[in-house]
Structure 1
Amino acid sequence: MSLSRVLGGAVLSLAASVALAADPDQAIRATLTKLQPDMPIEAIAESPMNGLFQVHLQGGRMLYASADGQFLVQGNLYQIKDGNAVNLTRQSESKGIAKAINDVPASEMVVFSPKEPAKAHITVFTDTDCGYCQKLHSEVPELNRRGIEVRYMAFPRQGVGSHGYNTMVSVWCARDRQAAMDKAKSREELPAASCDNPVTKQYELGQMIGVNGTPAIVLGNGELIPGYQPAPQLAEIALKAK
């Protein structure tokens, strides 16, 4: 789902009156489903700001709406506490993303674990054809040494059927996924393989939680970090977020 597409249509569609439902939940749903019939609404609830309702979407994303459903906002809601601005939207979205990631079994990922029990973990949406993904992968041993478990999920940037997609299918269908990932990230061509695999499902999950490039790193608390981070810096962030 593209939120920019939704809001682009909202500028025009909200100008036209929608038949109001009896309560805010129904009114907001009526507006959003008119804009996008398949919008994955998970829940609608009052936000901490009076008169504003928060719309939780599957995967953790969030929109805000007026009680009558005629005004729609995409952005961050901050609360000022003790002189500091607290990003309530980011907090809520991170919880939703963490839940979505935790619902994926580790058996469906490609996991690189430390020799000792992990101190923290990161989940990386990756594309084997991505240069910065390859750079990050070269630092996985250092992340492991620092106690960070690296869990890979597939995100072929060029979509289903692309070279990256086919390579990742071969990785996920390999007898030794870790060895296959090492080869793919070293730009070695893998023997084509096919099996029942989660590559498409993981790609769709990435889109749902807001991934739009690789590597996209999800910390243990659900915070989404776009782009490459050097191993020492990434390990420090991961340990704080566990």
Structure 2
Amino acid sequence: MSKLSAILLTAMMTTSAGWSVAAHAESRGKDSAAPGPENLIESQLKKLDATIPIESITKSPMPGVYKVMLKGGFVLYSSENGQYVIKGDMLEIRGNQLVNLTEAMKSQQNAKLLESLKKEDMVIFSPKGETKGVVYAFTDVDCGYCRKLHREVDRLNELGIELRYLAFPRGGKQSPVHGKMTEAWCSVDRKQALTDLKTGNPIGVEIRGDKAACSSVIDHHHKLGIQMGINGTPAMVLENGQVIPGYRPADDIARIIESQS
């Protein structure tokens, strides 16, 4: 593999090995006499890595530049002939503001992924009164800052924020944390089970669910997080798909949600 390939692919797709290229060629017309820009770009990228996980290739807002969406929320920009590739964010000047188009696009993708989730597959802490905002949190029960965030649950609820936990055992399926979180999701009281684990205690409520089904939910959340570019915990995602990496106090989260509305 060339140095360019290593720069583009190793940095962006360490979690995407084995993904197949999405079948998006049909929409571009397989039988056209001359290859269009999309075909040229795909061909050039596949010279670097035949398994590059392309989801779509479309025109970007910048004339002569195409947007290449990859699995995992990664984005590349390419010239029409695929010879020149840019790894980075595209920014647009709107009046006196600078808008990050790449981040906005990633957020839109994330929001669609969140919509596919079932509420019954999450551990949800809801306000007693009006819900003013929702935060999805990818969590690991042994993560120190995840535990710190959990101590903010009451304050989040006081501020009208609903916290929806998604499982993200950082060590993957074979880690002890995966087993702990599977048991929490199989508990008769998931909220208490998760609280027990996050305070360093064994689960103190009955575990009687289908462990295979609970394990499948943990795996689904973990894969979803990777698809959204999550690589650490806690990682919070707003309903609009904006990712807030790392720990943030409840009041900071409330201010961010308020600014979005």
Query: TM class by shorter-chain length?
Result: 0.7 to 0.9
Cα distance in 2 for partners of 1:186, 1:71 equals 51
Cα distance in 1 for partners of 2:213, 2:128 equals 30
Which residue pairs with 1:225 in the alignment? Answer: 244
Q: Number of aligned pairs?
A: 229
TM-fit CA distance, 1:38: 4.4
Cα distance in 1 for partners of 2:193, 2:247 equals 21
Indicate whether 1:71 and 2:72 are aligned: no
Cα pair distance change 1:38/1:147, threshold 3 Å: farther
Cα distance in 2 for partners of 1:140, 1:127 equals 15
- Please give the residue correspondences for 1:72-221 in structure 2 after superposition, counting only pairs within 5 Å: 72-190=85-203, 194-197=211-214, 198-221=217-240
Cα distance in 2 for partners of 1:5, 1:121 equals 38
> Please, which runs of 5 or more residues in structure 1 have no aligned partner?
11-20
Cα distance in 2 for partners of 1:218, 1:107 equals 18
Do the aligned residues in 2 keep the contact of 1:9 with 1:35 (CA within 8 Å)? no
**Aligned Cα root-mean-square deviation (Å):** 2.3
Do the aligned residues in 2 keep the contact of 1:59 with 1:97 (CA within 8 Å)? no
Question: Which amino acid letter does the alignment assign opposite residue 259 of structure 2?
Answer: K
Cα distance in 1 for partners of 2:44, 2:189 equals 49
TM-fit CA distance, 1:34: 4.4
Structure 2 length-normalised TM:
0.80
Structure 1 length-normalised TM:
0.86
Which residue pairs with 2:75 in the alignment? Answer: 62
Cα distance in 1 for partners of 2:9, 2:56 equals 22
Question: Which amino acid letter does the alignment assign opposite residue 101 of structure 1?
Answer: L
Which is further off, 114-123 or 78-87?
A: 78-87
The percent identity for this pair of structures is: 41
Which is further off, 59-68 or 154-163?
A: 59-68
- The C-alpha deviation readout for 1:149-194, integer Å capped at 9, x for no partner, is 0011111112221121111111111121111111111111238872
Do the aligned residues in 2 keep the contact of 1:55 with 1:62 (CA within 8 Å)? yes
Do the aligned residues in 1 keep the contact of 2:114 with 2:239 (CA within 8 Å)? no
Indicate whether 1:241 and 2:260 are aligned: yes
TM-fit CA distance, 1:39: 3.9
Do the aligned residues in 2 keep the contact of 1:43 with 1:57 (CA within 8 Å)? yes
> Please, which runs of 5 or more residues in structure 2 have no aligned partner?
12-33
Question: Which amino acid letter does the alignment assign opposite residue 258 of structure 2?
Answer: L
Question: Which amino acid letter does the alignment assign opposite residue 147 of structure 1?
Answer: G
Question: Which amino acid letter does the alignment assign opposite residue 172 of structure 1?
Answer: W
Do the aligned residues in 2 keep the contact of 1:55 with 1:63 (CA within 8 Å)? yes
Which residue pairs with 2:8 in the alignment? Answer: 7
TM-fit CA distance, 1:113: 0.8
Cα distance in 2 for partners of 1:99, 1:168 equals 25
- The C-alpha deviation readout for 1:107-136, integer Å capped at 9, x for no partner, is 111111111231110000110000000000
Cα pair distance change 1:106/1:52, threshold 3 Å: same
Question: Which amino acid letter does the alignment assign opposite residue 54 of structure 1?
Answer: K
Cα distance in 2 for partners of 1:9, 1:132 equals 28
Of 29, 32, 56, the match for 1:43: 56
Cα distance in 2 for partners of 1:209, 1:6 equals 21
